[in-house]
Amino acid sequence: MDRSSFDRILAELHQHRTAEPVDVRAAFRADPGRFARFSASDGDMLLDWSKCAVDDATMDLLGKLAGAAGVEARRDAMFDGAHINITEDRAVLHTALRNPGAEGPVVDGQDVGADVAAVLDAMSAFADAVRSGKAGGATGKAITDIVNIGIGGSDLGPVMVTLALAPYHDGPRAHYVSNIDGAHIHDTLQGLDPETTLVIVASKTFTTVETMTNAETARRWIETALGKEAVGHHFAAVSTALDRVAAFGIAPERVFGFWDWVGGRYSVWGAIGLPVMIAVGPQRFRELLAGAHAMDEHFRTVPLERNLPALLGLVGWWHRVVCACPARAVIPYDQRLSRLPAYLQQLDMESNGKGTALDGKPVATPTGPLVWGEPGTNGQHAFFQLLHQGTDIIPVEFLVAANGHEPELKHQHDLLLANCLAQSEALMKGRTLEEARVQMLAKGMEAAKVDEIAPHRVFSGNRPSITILYRLLDPATLGRLIALYEHRVFVEGVLYNINSFDQWGVELGKELATQLLPVVEGKENAAGRDASTAGLVEHILQLKER
Ligand code: F6P
């Protein structure tokens, strides 16, 4: 990071935004080439940011900013296996998971490509055996249901991908248990038959309390129904901590590993993707990887001014830092991406929700925004009111496929597309007081009533949105989309000058939860804790049924 150049360009961006604010509506009227210049594509995937309040000067300055921050050099360092995760002294190589068998990089003496290919082959053999019924349960029945027990990165990726690839499911049903709340595992297991259920315990560290507690519960469920000796047939594990898995009692041939250079939130591409692979088959899973690899190559080789992750990152950073937008909404007009916002919350907020810069000093700019969303059209009937007329400007990211998987429901897909386009158009165009008045008078409303009500029907407009359009949500496209977002988070992290690959902020709460367990169990008292926590504990103990 060339700090002085960066700060100078940042000041120029602020100055440019104040001196020459862009009204997107006027910009479209004045410039027939606007859409072509402020959109870019990679194959059949299109990124359109022309409805954001940027102009040529903005994009030019953002390009220079990326240069001053050293985006390309840091990108190359990541792909080369440098230890860019400095606080944990680790390489960051999730990209290698989608390039199995590739030559290099050799990291800390490890032939990464060969190891990735070996695990993928082992997963494929196991997935095929489960899918074909060869690896059945203890009583010989074929597996019909998989329960993946994991949380955070060991849950959100596989859950999201499983839902997204529903049209490709031809294997056992995949269920997911993450929450320590016993209700989650209880309700999941309730509908299942232990004889035909495979439990996958997914935990990078194999210490996470939620996962280990739920795994014990699942083990008791199997043992109670089928006996202790059945456990081996009904469990598999995914972890980097092979010794701890062995201690839990899962046979080594049912354990699939990964490495410390894969962050939890970047891990769906490897063994953590096992439930997805069992559900859709190894071939479809490899298509997912191939799509992500294609986006890696795009990110690595295409100049920044046409590079989709770089552009998404630069515009995202512009909204967060220069426009001071506190949040961004991700709205997939794609029901099967219903968990994408939750997945992106971890990817983005755990990566870029940081206050300390790489040099250990407080960061110089705001960092990652609040990321949230729900699928459209549902969101339109819930929170879009705030997006259109609320007092904060929240940039919106729309994702939509030109085609659905249901040819017989094409009309419904066209309605979905029309709604998606309508929302981005409405955010941009808005409606003036005069337009509201004319419309109401045309409907025959009395002039006095029109004066009273019209101000409520005004939309300020000029509200930014980005649209990501693709042909069809097939496995390869999904892989490209996820990798697009991963690299966008990376680019923004470089611009914030932070380490996007650690997550120290989740530790304190975990430590305190361990201390508080004996207190809520009534085995220790709350003396010495703050009055609020002590008061809450007292009430819990009074309300608890013994
Ligand atoms: O809560 C933070 C976190 O460490 C995430 O980063 C991770 O994805 C999740 O917990 C689960 O961790 P593990 O896979 O080690 O159980």
Tell me: the pLDDT tens digits for 137-168?
999 999 999 999 999 999 999 999 999 999 99
Catalytic residue among 14, 134, 510, 544: 510
| 239 Cα nearest atom in ligand 1 | 14
Sole residue written with tokens 């219903």? 338
Helix (H) or strand (E) holding 147: strand 145-149
Is 80 exceeded by the pLDDT of residue 467? yes
Residue 46 burial (CB < 10 Å; 0-12/13-18/19+)?
middle
Is 80 exceeded by the pLDDT of residue 104? no
Measured in Å, residue 233 CA sits from the centre of ligand 1 at 26
The pLDDT tens digits for 336-356 are 999 999 999 999 999 999 999
What value does the mean pLDDT of the chain take?
96
For residue 38, the model assigns a pLDDT of 98
Is 80 exceeded by the pLDDT of residue 546? no
Measured in Å, residue 470 CA sits from the centre of ligand 1 at 31
Q: How confident is the model over 521-543, as a mean pLDDT?
A: 93
For residue 106, the model assigns a pLDDT of 86
Rounded CA gap, 378 and 395, in Å? 18
Sole residue written with tokens 């999904």? 478
Residue 354 catalytic? no
> Is cis: bond before 391, omega within 30 of 0?
no
Residue 449 catalytic? no
Q: Whose CA is nearest to atom 5 of ligand 1?
A: 152
The count of residues in the chain is 546
| 267 Cα nearest atom in ligand 1 | 8
Measured in Å, residue 140 CA sits from the centre of ligand 1 at 34
For residue 247, the model assigns a pLDDT of 87
Residue 287 catalytic? no
Side-chain half-sphere CA neighbours of 36 within 13 A: 3
Please list every protein residue whose CB sits less than 6 Å from any atom of ligand 1: 151-154, 203-205, 208, 211, 264-265, 350, 503, 506
The pLDDT tens digits for 294-353 are 999 999 999 999 999 999 999 999 999 999 999 999 999 999 999 999 999 999 999 999
Catalytic residue among 195, 210, 287, 350: 350
Of 171, 394, 139, 438, residue with least CA distance to 278: 171
Catalytic residue among 381, 411, 456, 523: 381
Share of the chain above pLDDT 70, in %: 100
Q: How confident is the model over 261-281, as a mean pLDDT?
A: 97
Rounded CA gap, 122 and 296, in Å? 24
Q: Whose CA is nearest to atom 16 of ligand 1?
A: 203
18-25: long-range contacts (C-beta < 8 A, 24 or more apart)?
20/55, 20/57, 21/53, 22/53, 22/54, 22/55, 22/58, 23/53, 23/462, 24/50, 24/51, 24/52, 24/53, 24/428, 24/462, 24/464, 25/428, 25/429, 25/430, 25/461, 25/462
**Confidence band, pLDDT 50/70/90 cuts, at residue 107:** confident
Which phi and psi (to 5°) does residue 106 adopt?
-95, 120
For residue 103, the model assigns a pLDDT of 86
Rounded CA gap, 274 and 262, in Å? 15
Is 90 exceeded by the pLDDT of residue 1? no
Task: Judge contact between 243 and 114, C-beta under 8 A.
Answer: no
pTM to 2 decimal places: 0.96
| 151 Cα nearest atom in ligand 1 | 11
Which phi and psi (to 5°) does residue 240 adopt?
-95, -10
> Pairing relation of β-strands 173-177 and 235-239?
unpaired
Task: Judge contact between 264 and 252, C-beta under 8 A.
Answer: no
From 94, 148, 149, 154, the mutation candidate for ligand 1 (largest count of ligand atoms within 8 A of CB) is 154
Q: How many distinct helices (H) and strands (E) make up the chain? A: 24, 13
Rounded CA gap, 416 and 419, in Å? 5
Task: Judge contact between 105 and 93, C-beta under 8 A.
Answer: yes
Task: Judge contact between 183 and 155, C-beta under 8 A.
Answer: no
Q: How confident is the model over 35-51, as a mean pLDDT?
A: 98
Measured in Å, residue 203 CA sits from the centre of ligand 1 at 7
Helix (H) or strand (E) holding 328: strand 327-333
| 150 Cα nearest atom in ligand 1 | 16
Q: Where are the beta strands (DSSP E) in 396-546?
A: 396-401, 465-470
Task: Judge contact between 138 and 111, C-beta under 8 A.
Answer: no
Rg (alpha carbons) of the chain, rounded to whole number: 26
Q: How confident is the model over 55-76, as a mean pLDDT?
A: 98
Of 12, 69, 85, residue with least CA distance to 496: 69
For residue 204, the model assigns a pLDDT of 87
The pLDDT tens digits for 476-503 are 999 999 999 999 999 999 999 999 999 9
The pLDDT tens digits for 240-251 are 888 899 888 898
CA distance readout (Å), 240 to 80, 83, 219, 283, 376: 22, 18, 21, 24, 37
Task: Judge contact between 115 and 260, C-beta under 8 A.
Answer: no
For residue 6, the model assigns a pLDDT of 97
Q: How confident is the model over 519-531, as a mean pLDDT?
A: 93
| 202 Cα nearest atom in ligand 1 | 14
Local structure of 403: helix, strand or coil: coil
Rounded CA gap, 478 and 291, in Å? 7
Q: Whose CA is nearest to atom 8 of ligand 1?
A: 153
CA distance readout (Å), 232 to 139, 141, 253, 348, 454: 12, 14, 10, 37, 69
For residue 536, the model assigns a pLDDT of 94
Task: Judge contact between 209 and 513, C-beta under 8 A.
Answer: yes
